[in-house]
């Protein structure tokens, strides 16, 4: 305990001895940090952000809707679209024709554009730039490009489905047309209009003619037609009705897909709207000044300790 007390007193006396130097170095470090962190040396940067939540997103895999829009936001498609829109190569003063120029540009984009999933299953988009308005515009552009990309993917998928359904519908329409021609031929050539009703009527007429003892040529002809072509008519009509029902179902599906293509959806719900910042986010001058003062004082204190240690060693030499 006494050892710790002596050690503490030693540091206090040392600090008291050099207090003027500590005061000077504190003032100099604070002034230098304040000057070199000013706008003359470091351009201030402003942050704009938005929080978006997926809406009307149709899942393409087992991933959640939030994970899907997160992947799209981090895609090269959106990155390149934003870079072109704001000419970021010139804005960041990067020569993309130079060796590794594009790598430098993408690195700067990644540094100043942050996209991450939060705990509430929504996505945070943050952009930092020397222009508060440009940072805000870039966030809005990223959200716009996200909507545009999802819309494009969904429309491509819908067009594929529409093409398949349209092919099924055309095939069934051709079958219906062929079957209708067969039925029409049976109606015109053999006078078979409705198999079930005509069978009953012809049977009743035939029975009456037997009872009365007077035959009927028309009944005989129609009965013969039913015997020869009735089964064919019945099978064709059942097949026609079945395909017609299937055609109507496919046609409804086609109309639904067609309507989906014509609709305009918004695929993101903006929970937090981006606005131009009125206060810089970088550099934090008070923090720079504090770190600089602490570092300068630690450096001075280390030099003083080493110097005092060297003197004590020389004094203790025999």
Q: Residue 270 in contact with residue 50, Cβ under 8 Å?
A: yes
pTM passes above 0.85 = no
* Helix, strand or coil, per DSSP, at residue 62: coil
Per-residue pLDDT of the chain (318 residues; tens, 9 = 90+): 556 566 667 667 777 777 788 788 888 887 877 776 666 666 778 889 999 888 776 665 566 778 888 888 888 899 999 999 999 999 988 888 888 889 999 999 999 999 988 888 888 999 998 888 999 999 999 999 988 888 888 888 888 888 998 899 899 989 888 888 887 777 667 666 555 555 555 545 444 454 444 445 555 555 566 556 666 777 878 888 898 899 899 889 888 888 877 777 777 778 888 888 777 766 666 777 788 888 888 888 888 878 777 776 666 655
**CA gap 307, 96 in Å, rounded:** 52
Contacts of 151 (CB under 8 A, 6+ apart): 265, 267
**CA gap 21, 287 in Å, rounded:** 22
Q: Residue 52 in contact with residue 271, Cβ under 8 Å?
A: yes
CA-only gyration radius of the chain, Å: 43
**CA gap 290, 296 in Å, rounded:** 10
């Amino acid at each position: 305990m006494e050892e710790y007390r002596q050690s503490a007193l030693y540091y206090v006396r040392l600090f008291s001895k050099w207090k003027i130097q500590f005061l000077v170095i504190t003032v100099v470090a604070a002034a230098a940090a304040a000057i070199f962190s000013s706008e003359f040396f470091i351009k201030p940067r402003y942050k704009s952000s938005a929080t978006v939540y997926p809406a009307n997103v149709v899942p393409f895999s087992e991933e959640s809707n939030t994970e899907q829009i997160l992947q799209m936001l981090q895609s090269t498609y959106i990155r390149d679209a934003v870079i072109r829109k704001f000419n970021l190569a010139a804005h960041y003063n990067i020569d993309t024709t130079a060796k590794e120029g594009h790598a430098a540009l993408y690195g700067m984009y990644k540094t100043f554009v942050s996209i991450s999933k939060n705990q509430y299953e929504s996505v945070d988009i943050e952009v930092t730039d020397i222009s508060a308005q440009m940072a805000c515009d870039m966030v809005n552009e990223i959200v716009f490009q996200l909507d545009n990309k999802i819309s494009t993917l969904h429309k491509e998928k819908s067009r594929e489905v529409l093409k398949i359904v349209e092919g099924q519908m055309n095939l069934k329409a051709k079958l219906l047309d062929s079957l209708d021609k067969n039925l029409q031929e049976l109606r015109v050539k053999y006078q078979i209009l409705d198999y079930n009703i005509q069978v009953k009527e012809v049977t009743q007429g035939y029975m009456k003619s037997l009872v009365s003892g007077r035959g009927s040529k028309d009944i005989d002809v129609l009965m013969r037609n039913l015997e020869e072509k009735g089964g064919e008519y019945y099978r064709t009509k059942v097949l026609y009705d079945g395909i017609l029902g299937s055609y109507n179902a496919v046609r409804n599906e086609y109309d639904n897909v067609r309507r989906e293509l014509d609709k305009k959806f918004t695929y993101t719900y903006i929970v937090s709207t981006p606005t131009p910042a009125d206060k810089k986010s970088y550099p934090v001058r008070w923090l720079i000044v504090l770190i600089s003062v602490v570092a300068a004082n630690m450096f001075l204190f280390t030099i003083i300790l080493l110097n005092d240690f060297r003197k004590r060693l020389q004094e203790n030499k025999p």
